[in-house]
Structure 1
Amino acid sequence: TLEEEESDYFFAQVLPQIIKLALSLPEIVTGAIPLLRKHKTHSITLSQKQIASLLANAFLCTFPRRNTAKSLSEYSSFPDINFNRLFSAVGRQDNIQEKLKCLINYFRRVCSKCK
């Protein structure tokens, strides 16, 4: 369980920075990121801030179009990008808690560089 001090720090310091990163996505990622498909040779290069902004949006579950399972959707063959499945997972609570701690630590470190 997150200690009270860690929890206070998360809500007072880290979460506002995650929100700020998420909201800055249109300025940080100015063009569409291509979907990388099987059996095609492609690569993309993203900065740490671009990745952090994308992860912030996934953490806040702001990519609803990519989570569609409709077979005609261009995203149907891709895994979910949002973290809603992680947040709503049943069982293996210790694993989920450790994954969340890892994500929070990542954001804490990245956000300390962004200030």
Structure 2
Amino acid sequence: MYGNYLKLKHFLFVKRGGRKERREHVCEHCQRHGIGHDMHVIEEQRIPALLVLAILVLYTALGGVLMSKIETWTFFTSFYWSFITMTTVGFGDLMPRRDEYMYIILLYIILG
């Protein structure tokens, strides 16, 4: 999909007569013809999928611990609430009831 984006971007670049409005990527055509010498090369970094998955599980578990302390739910019920909330499914079967902790809960949801 990203390759198609680059092809479309190159096509639009040539169609516009070589005007470059953004400096996010220099296509091969531009490099061959000397356009964009002052542009910076963007390096691509890959993040392991296992690391991303571990961060997501830990953040969801953090929500489980947080909600089990705030509400009178078990850890697994709180983990379920956190997972459903973070995946934006929001069944509505579990809702926080304590108003005094609503800002903490909202912060957790917004940051997640």
* Same-fold call, TM cutoff 0.5: no
TM-score of the pair, normalised by structure 1: 0.24
Which protein, 1 or 2, shows the higher relative CO under an 8 Å CA cutoff with sep ≥ 6? 1
TM-score of the pair, normalised by structure 2: 0.24
